[in-house]
A and B are shown apart, each in its own frame.
Chain A
Amino acid sequence: DTVLTQSPALAVSPGERVTISCRASESVSTLMHWYQQKPGQQPTLLIYLASNLESGVPARFSGSGSGTDFTLTIDPVEADDTATYYCQQSWNDPPTFGAGTKLELK
């Protein structure tokens, strides 16, 4: 299975720019997606196909990358962005998720 590696946690101040990385163990082309999960809630889609903003998601969120290296950027970060962020690939079977990056605000 394709393993997706994310840094476990980040702490930033409101108003700053944060980048969350995801590295795949093999190429996933641009079939990489990002989700936000707040405590006690289901995940929600932020970015699909590496760089496409899901409808209704603030333009503060953006995604980039292809092949094995991908980035989710939040600029500027707001207090409401406290959550865990997951990357997910759908190029190789089975679809797999990263372990998640927990974003905390200082």
Chain B
Amino acid sequence: AQSVTQLDSQVPVFEEAPVELRCNYSSSVSVYLFWYVQYPNQGLQLLLKYLSGSTLVKGINGFEAEFNKSQTSFHLRKPSVHISDTAEYFCAVSVYKLSFGAGTTVTVRA
């Protein structure tokens, strides 16, 4: 069985500050890893994914994530956030189907 734990339910951050959203996963087999963003009252948009290869993955809107197999983590980072990054972020793991974490709400303040 696979599972995902997002370690922070809410992350307040000031504009232009860096942000890190933490995600740990468990699985008995190799996995694919994803980060999705959901803006208020909208659907899910893929930020980035790790399928194989380089452990540092770059996504849209300046986000990146690092896959750490030994620590079973896939943390998401952005060096400088904007007000428009206010959203909910979901980490997800896929073996045969996609399982989501509970989500992290990021609120960016001026």
Pair from one complex:
no
